[in-house]
């Protein structure tokens, strides 16, 4: 796993650029950065759900992309496209408290609990709204990618209830992205309930809050996808 945390000088400069972009987009001063919760622990990239195919399968997703007139990337262009996306996301998220993680075939944006949902809620919090708007701005520029949204819960309540709640949360984030300009053909969502926790068990409220998170996986759409 590589978690992108630029050196202090670069981080300061990148944070300034990111905040300037927010100010331009919202027409006023951006919301203050939400600090990373002390209890947030980066989960490795070996989890099975991250190493499988895109949600719904590449064949079906590629068909939707073609129907939406989205042209695929040539195989040789995929790596450079993802590198540019990675660089933009690193600048955009500097100082905000998100993790941008490189995967063998794509990127993962891991959003900790302070941005996501209150317990037992699938409503996007105001803090999360501003973050999603910024991410949407970049994702719209990289049309030749699949965007998977995963949502997680803590272990409060039954596993069945948590799976249902996480499905609603993932769908809410995907709908938000679609509503702000990300092509629906690129999007898919899945709730994972309490099956992939950062803390197991999650005994304290801080640990439970850390388990409530959203992840956005971005994978290149290639001409070889069928």
pTM score of the predicted model: 0.81
Instruction: Note the pLDDT tens digit of each residue in 117-173.
Output: 877 888 888 877 878 888 999 999 999 999 999 999 989 899 999 999 999 999 999
Residue 41 — pLDDT band, cuts 50, 70, 90? low
**Which residue is associated with the tokens 């989205």?**
70
pLDDT bucket at 44, cuts 50 / 70 / 90: low
Reported as a single tens digit per residue, the pLDDT across 55-95 is 999 999 999 999 999 999 998 999 999 999 999 999 988 88
CATH number, domain 2-220, options 3.40.190.10, 1.10.3720.10, 3.30.565.10, 3.30.1330.60: 3.30.1330.60
- List all residues 6 or more positions away from 223 whose beta carbon is below 8 Å from its beta carbon: 72, 73, 74, 75
Percent of the chain scored above 70 by pLDDT?
80
Determine the Cα angle at 54 with ends 48 and 55, to 5°: 90
Sequence ranges of the domains in the chain: 2-220
pLDDT of residue 15: 41
Q: What percent of the chain has pLDDT over 90?
A: 50
Q: What does the pLDDT look like over 22-33, one tens digit per residue? A: 444 334 454 455
Residue 182 CB partners (closer than 8 Å, separation 6+): 136, 139, 140, 147
How far from the centroid of its chain's Cα atoms is residue 93's Cα? 11
**Termini Cα distance of the chain:** 29
In the prediction, which pLDDT does 205 show? 84
Specify the higher pLDDT residue, 5 or 60. Answer: 60
Cα-to-chain-centroid distance, residue 99: 9
Check whether 20 has a pLDDT greater than 50.
Answer: no
């Amino acid at each position: 796993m590589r978690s992108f945390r630029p050196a202090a000088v670069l981080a300061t400069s990148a944070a300034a650029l990111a905040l300037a972009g927010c100010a331009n987009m919202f027409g006023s001063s951006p919301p203050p950065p939400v600090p990373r919760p002390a209890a947030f622990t980066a989960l490795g990239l070996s989890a099975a759900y991250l190493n499988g195919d895109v949600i719904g399968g590449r064949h079906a997703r590629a068909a939707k992309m073609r129907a939406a007139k989205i042209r695929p990337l040539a195989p040789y262009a995929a790596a450079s496209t993802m590198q540019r996306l990675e660089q933009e996301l690193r600048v955009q998220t500097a100082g905000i408290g998100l993790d941008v993680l490189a995967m063998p075939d794509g990127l993962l944006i891991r959003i900790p609990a302070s941005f996501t949902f209150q317990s037992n809620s699938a409503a996007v919090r105001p803090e999360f709204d501003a973050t999603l708007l910024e991410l949407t701005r970049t994702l719209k520029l990289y049309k030749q990618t699949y965007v998977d949204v995963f949502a997680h819960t803590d272990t409060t309540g039954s596993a069945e209830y948590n799976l249902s709640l996480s499905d609603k949360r993932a769908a809410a984030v995907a709908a938000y992205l679609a509503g702000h300009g990300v092509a629906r053909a690129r999007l898919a969502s899945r709730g994972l309930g309490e099956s992939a926790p950062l803390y197991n068990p999650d005994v304290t409220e801080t640990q439970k809050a850390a388990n409530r998170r959203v992840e956005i996986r971005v994978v290149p759409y290639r001409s070889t996808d069928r």
